[in-house]
Chains A and B, each alone.
Chain A
Amino acid sequence: MVQAEFDADEPRWSDAAEAPAAGRRLAVAEALRALLPADCVLSGDNELRPYECDGLSVFRQQPMLVVLPRTEAELRAVLVECSRLGVPVVARGAGTGLSGGAMPHASGVLLSLARFDRILEINAPARIARVQPGVRNLAVSEAAAAHGLFYAPDPSSQIACSIGGNVAENSGGVHCLKYGLTLHNVLGVRGCTIDGEPIELGGRTLDAPGLDLLALCVGSEGLLLIVTEVILKLLPKPELAQVVMASFDDVGKAGEAVAAIIAAGIIPSGLEMMDRKAAVAVEPFVHAGYDLSAAAILLAESDGTPDEVNEEVAAMERVLQAAGATAITVSRSEAERLRFWSGRKNAFPAAGRISPDYYCMDGTIPRKSLGQMLKAIEQMERKYGLQCMNVFHAGDGNLHPLILFDANCEGAWERADRFGADILELCVQLGGTITGEHGVGVEKLNSMCVQFSPAERAAFFAVKRAFDPPGLLNPGKAIPTLARCAEYGRMHVRQGRLAHPDLPRF
């Protein structure tokens, strides 16, 4: 039976903390040093420490080794050797990920692609950029700007995050309602399988023969292959963009306004929402001129030809007015437009300013449930005794609640973690998903048990095995094992049976 076939696919290396056998580090380091220039293999404690975690620093693990190849030939040699020796390989781009997807494996090699940092080609007539995975997201649009072109996906971390990481996570950004996710803007990838074989998926064309393995690889969190080149789609830069900023005295009304804009047949190039806590946190930081008396602020962007933008902005103003906006401002210059956005894009650093630690969630829900979700989050704030500020990619229904906590407070992280898991479970109940753009990584493994059945998770392992038969690429991430879900299920039941479950217990 298929199920039995699938079960056999559960991986060997699912525990990232599993320490290497004695002498293993030295042996593997020696084997790799024989293949690579001396500065490509790091093995000293001080050299390994900076790689312990990605952007989600609560999950840490020192890798056995760090390898930094420069060329595809060197990368292939590393993979061939790791396959031969049975060493797990965890790829890392800029390390800005927010789900622990690039957290190292104690018995594995942390493969940094930081040196694959060249833009290989900007082909203006073909509207294509061919880049190495270590190239920063923003660098692509900067290089394309001279040709009047840009690369659409713009995650908030775009000044630092890498294209390779964007491909691994299928990153979005504030403009994906109109321009799509990374998936929609990647035409092809070149990479290597775990046994060092070069592989090309997609290309410079709009489709390719066979199954759509490219779609499978985008968002695969480094579990299927190592990407060495990416062909990106570039778009002509719109002549004009303007942002409408609207205040609401009630978050529910703001949520309804989002639905009303879409229902009016408008696809804004960006449609974002912030609650009061988020606006109050960012305003002293960016001086965007946010209305701090508003319960929620909506930012809706229109782009296109000047006439088109005028029409669309006017239409959006009418809809927002009818939806009960208490104030509406339209950006009058490019500088002002960027200032309106700056607060939204700086919500995370702002959270870091007002709280020692914060924990960012990433669920997606149907837009119509935004109001219900916000009310539920308010109740959870009381339940867990923690504050939460909310920024949303409202047009996509993608939420980024930022749970504020102090890791030095006894039990605070555990409360934040439970708070987050509660939000994600509600996302699933509302018909949404536990992650819209940050990925599962190690962080949301338990929540995957809630969203997917054992048979569905088994199918994911089957996909992994089809690409990576020995199961060495980023093991233990993205898909929880049956055993882990069984354990999570038991814990859940126990917690559900506690008397007075609403009493704070931490």
Chain B
Amino acid sequence: MDRSDSVLQELRGRVIEANAAKTPLRLRGAGTKDFYGEHCEGTLLDMRGYCGVVDYEPSELVITARCGTSLSEVDGLLARHQQFLAFEPPSFAADPTIGGIIACGLSGPRRSQAGGARDFVLGAVLLSADGQLLHFGGKVIKNVAGFDVARLLCGSLGILGAITEVSLKVMPLPRAEQTLRFEMTAAAALESFNRWACQPLPISASGWCNGQAWLRLSGAPSALHAARTRLGGELIDAALAEHWWRSLRDQTHVFFREASPLWRLSLPSTAAPLAGAGTQLIEWGGALRWCTGDAPAAELRALATAAGGSALQWRGGAAGQRFHPLSPTVLAIHRRLKERFDPHRIFNPGRLIADL
């Protein structure tokens, strides 16, 4: 039995024990997203010890890693084969674990074009409340055997069990990238982002802040050249561009550093610019709007709902009310899933929904 087996056995033991005693566990990787979601009480279960890349073959476009594997290790390995995680998981200025990345399900600037974390999950192993290791999905790109529980776990914040291993689809690194910048208002940026997205342009990220729209192009050099000719704008120095997109991904941008309270609105990309929502930063071609200011929570929720989206209180605000409320029918399904997967509520109780 190698070291990782014994670590896994120890984790199983801790879960079985907690389940028998009905005492809650607080699952944690590197803790880079401790701020995310609701507060939850429980004995810390540190998942970092179960780590290491289990399987990676570049020509299969799939990597399988244990939950405690650090993002830097995965990124480094992929980069050596000119591949990467195309959903650009945020690291929030530290080094998160793969398990934490999937449990939180957050994605970076490439989300609107490449897809989000959930789109890249191919399989997962779940350590269930009774200490079993359940395999869902697999290591192949097309797989419809059984319900897609692996993707259900993505963004579940650990409330259904502990993710011990994940298989992710990886992509080849773009051959070239360029960033263009345009001086424009938020309204003009939203209009432009949506118009450009209707054309076959190699756009891989877009953002707007403080009177400037940023647009990243990725792909074959010839495609980038053609797009630049068509779009105009100011070509940004590669290092500065890299820094800017990273500052959005990891929220080191001055907007995020100063913003409190901070709201994350997930809206249709074509939703009108938000009036009266304070200072704003726009990502994902208009589909993600960050705003700060003192607008009351109820007002922002109503605004998001009316636009066909949702509002999440990212920082600040009242405990237990950070996430956008669910409809009663959807909430009932959440409740029944939790009851069946974790009847004694030992996994991250309350982290996603107050009383689950």
Contact = CB atoms under 8 A, between A and B. Distances in A.
B69 interface: no
B143 A456 contact: no
Given A213-B330, A366-B140, A125 B194 contact: yes
A295 B338 CA distance: 52
B22 interface: no
Interface string A454-494: 01110110111111010000000011000000000000000
B144 A219 contact: yes
Most chain B CB atoms below 10 A, which of A176, A312, A431, A463: A463
Max chain B Cβ within 10 angstroms of own Cβ: one of A208, A215, A239, A431: A215
A262 B59 contact: yes
Contacts of B200: 148, 236-239, 304-305
Contacts of B323: 209-210
Contacts of A38: none
Interface in A190-216: 193, 197-201, 203-213, 215-216
A172 B140 CA distance: 13
B148 interface: yes
Nearest to A466: B336
A396 B142 contact: yes
A146 interface: no
Interface in B201-225: 201-202, 219-220, 222-223, 225
B130 A211 contact: no
A205 B139 contact: no
A203 B61 CA distance: 29
A149 interface: yes
Interface stretch (A24-32, A131-139, A435-443, A497-505): A435-443
Given A180-B119, A459-B149, A267 B172 contact: yes
A444 interface: yes
A127 B142 contact: no
B138 interface: yes
A141 to B, nearest CB: 15
Interface stretch (B45-53, B250-258, B266-274): B266-274
Contacts of A305: 200, 222-223, 226
B142 A206 contact: no
Contacts of B288: 206
Q: Which of A149, A260, A431, A479 has the most chain B CB within a 10 Å cutoff?
A: A431
Interface residues of B, number: 90
Contacts of A402: none
B152 A215 contact: yes
Contact of B340 (A2, A181, A201, A451): A2
A293 interface: no
Nearest to A304: B223
Contacts of B310: 205, 208-209
Contacts of B129: 2
Given A219-B147, A438-B144, A466-B340, A307 B222 contact: yes
A218 interface: yes
A463 B149 contact: yes
A465 B202 CA distance: 43
B175 interface: yes
A124 interface: yes
Interface stretch (B28-36, B90-98, B108-116): B108-116
Contact of A396 (B141, B171, B199): B141
Contacts of A170: 144, 148
Contact of B337 (A149, A184, A211): A211
Contacts of B267: 205
Interface of A: 1-3, 5-6, 9, 123-127, 147-149, 169-170, 172, 176-177, 180-181, 183-184, 193, 197-201, 203-213, 215-216, 218-220, 223-224, 236-239, 259-260, 262-263, 265-267, 304-305, 307-308, 310-312, 364-368, 393, 396-398, 431-440, 444, 448, 451-453, 455-457, 459-460, 462-467, 469, 478-479
Given A259-B60, A266-B172, 11 more contacts: A123-B270, A126-B194, A200-B330, A215-B152, A305-B222, A393-B142, A433-B145, A436-B143, A453-B135, A459-B341, A463-B337
22 contacts: A2-B343, A5-B339, A5-B340, A148-B200, A170-B148, A200-B327, A200-B330, A210-B330, A212-B105, A212-B151, A239-B200, A263-B59, A305-B226, A364-B140, A433-B145, A434-B145, A435-B144, A448-B145, A452-B145, A453-B134, A462-B340, A463-B152
